Amino acid sequence: MDGEIECPSCHRISLVTDDLDACPRCECDLERLLQIALLAHAKIDQALRCLTTGGWEQALHHAEESRSLRHDARAARIAFLAATACDDLHAARKWDDALQQMRDK
């Protein structure tokens, strides 16, 4: 998995690597956070596979699951695309708002 993880204690951003299990700055245990991040990443992979095969509703479902685990812009973008493809304009609007809020931070 590529990506970054923020230490909940000192807010240091670390690149996710195979041997990262504690914050390099404050030594806070990051293992559980990493497990959640890995699960969120796996859900994004599932969503992308569904997008490539036209499984829009499944893609939306997996993207929403990923987003519930980790607030990641990629999951929100996939959810927006899938919701649009599903013709679910209410959900598309919700995901567009979520993306806008992430840009404004």
- Residues of this chain that interact with Zn ion (CB under 5 A) are 7, 9-10, 12, 23, 25-26, 28
- H helix and E strand count, the chain: 4, 2
Q: Which is closer to Zn ion, CB of 9 or CB of 101?
A: 9
Query: Closest separation between CB of residue 23 and Zn ion, Å?
Result: 3
Query: Closest separation between CB of residue 11 and Zn ion, Å?
Result: 7
Q: Which is closer to Zn ion, CB of 20 or CB of 28?
A: 28
Q: Which is closer to Zn ion, CB of 22 or CB of 48?
A: 22
At 15, which amino acid appears? Answer: L
Query: Closest separation between CB of residue 6 and Zn ion, Å?
Result: 9
Query: Closest separation between CB of residue 12 and Zn ion, Å?
Result: 5
Q: Quick one: which of 46, 69, 42, 72 has its CA closest to 57?
A: 46
Sign of the alpha-carbon torsion through 74, 76, 77, 79: positive
Sign of the alpha-carbon torsion through 71, 77, 82, 84: positive
Structure-token pair, residue 11: 């807010």
Q: Which is closer to Zn ion, CB of 7 or CB of 47?
A: 7
